[in-house]
Amino acid sequence: MQLRNPAGVHAPVAAYSHQIEVSPGARWLVLSGQIGLGPDGVPPSDPVGQIEVALDNVRRNLEAAGMGVGDLVKLTFFLVGDIDAERRKRALDAFLGDHRPCMTLLYVSALAAPALKVEIDAWAAREAPAG
């Protein structure tokens, strides 16, 4: 995969890349929207806690497919209400490390249940082994 931020386009305003080119033959993984429910089925009351749980759910799905955070190509965040931007950024930085997938963040009026404040859509690709 090649991550790029083309000349003539503003610098990313957060931890993302403007584009990622996936090589032919890569294995793709598309996740359903991941929400802030842990194994107990109860969302944290804190929206940033829901972000952390949803990101952990993304990680667990990647691992189940033999992939990791570095294979993420695109994340789309759907957020309800005012969520502290600095805390949100810290949670995302802790999850991504140095990886910079493409990213979109949207504020929406509601999700599937009133207690849910976060949903994360994720796409990943793993390069085909050489040879």
pLDDT digits (tens, 9 = 90+) for 17-64: 999 999 999 999 999 999 999 899 999 999 999 999 999 999 999 999
Whichever domain contains 117, its CATH number is: 3.30.1330.40
CA distance 13 to 36: 25
Among positive and negative, which fits the CA dihedral 110, 112, 117, 123? negative
Domain of residue 104: give its range. 30-126
Q: What is the mean pLDDT of the chain?
A: 94
Count of the separate structural domains present in the chain: 1
**Domain-embedded: residue 78:** yes
Contact 96, 68 (CB under 8 A): no
Q: Give the ranges where 65-128 is alpha helix by DSSP (H).
A: 85-96
Greater pLDDT, 14 or 105: 105
Please tell me the pTM assigned to this model. 0.92
CA distance 9 to 44: 38
Q: What pairing do the DSSP bridges indicate for beta strands 19-21 and 2-4?
A: antiparallel
Residue 76 banded pLDDT, cuts 50, 70, 90: very high
pLDDT over 90 at 129, yes or no: no
**Domain-embedded: residue 103:** yes
